[in-house]
Amino acid sequence: MNATPQRGWLADFLMLAAIWGASFMFMRLAALELGALPTAALRVAIAALFLLPLLMAKGHWPVLRQHWRPVFLVGLLNSAIPFSLYAFAVMHISTGLSAILNATVPLFGALVAWLWLHDRPGWSRTVGLAMGFGGVVLLVGEQASFKPNASGVAPVWAVLACLAATTCYALSASFTKKHLPSMPPLVAATGSQIGATLGLAGPALWFLPDHMPSAPAWGALLVLGVVCTGIAYVIYFRLIERAGPARALTVTFMIPVFAIVYGVILLSEQITPWMLGCGAVVLLGTALSSGLLKLPGR
């Protein structure tokens, strides 16, 4: 009786991890020709155009009109700024490293919730915070060179951009929990993409490339907007409905696996044992800090 729903949940889980893992690769392919800000702006604009008809079909437009200000602010924190930072980062460090750093979102989320919402972590989550940040320090210490690489930018700036992006995600999550507790997910998703598009329009126009990007770059951007953002949101909401928010959150830990595989096979990226070891520490600490795993005792 429960076999079909379970298969549906697992299929959505793996599909979402595979799609979001690929987003780093498509960001890199697009950003290398369009630049970071135009890539982020076009990504959210395409996603908004994809999601808006779904919002209208569900009859949620009045809800968005009523709450557009906080939803648009979420769009800046949850899409505009972090998408721009990641588009910059993947131009200068590997997509695998970017994905590992992205997996710290629940880690920073737990820290922000502690400091802002006074959601004090217990013993197990505190150990997870310490372990996760320790793994980040070790990973950053090995990767964050101040010497410019072939792209002309020191990797440390790309690493810091990833960590700033994860902090934005964490701030957005706490803001949403505090100010938009009963917002329908599709309204938050669509409204945030519209807000992000409006926020990035001006800067993106200023930094438009002086040449016409190639067809592969436009194709990567289209996949990034429709599949990795628009469709991914739909799958994510369906996953929450079928498996619950706690299980849906664990998709974060599968994304680096797919991103690393894509990067090695399709982009010929190099993954070091140190990166994998530190990544495992970060993921374990994140799982503990978010309450998905618990230590015995206390």
Per-residue pLDDT reduced to its tens digit, 111-158: 777 777 677 777 777 887 788 778 777 776 665 555 666 667 788 899
Buried b (16+ CB within 10 A) or exposed e, 46-55: bbbebbbeeb
For residue 213, give the DSSP letter: P
How many CB atoms lie under 10 A from the CB of residue 128? 27
Burial class (CB in 10 A: 0-12, 13-18, 19+), 26: buried
Decide if 46 contacts 225 (C-beta within 8 A).
yes
The upper half-sphere exposure of residue 190, i.e. CA atoms within 13 Å in the direction of its Cβ, equals: 24
pLDDT tens per residue, range 188-247: 889 999 999 999 999 999 999 888 899 999 999 999 999 999 898 888 877 776 776 656
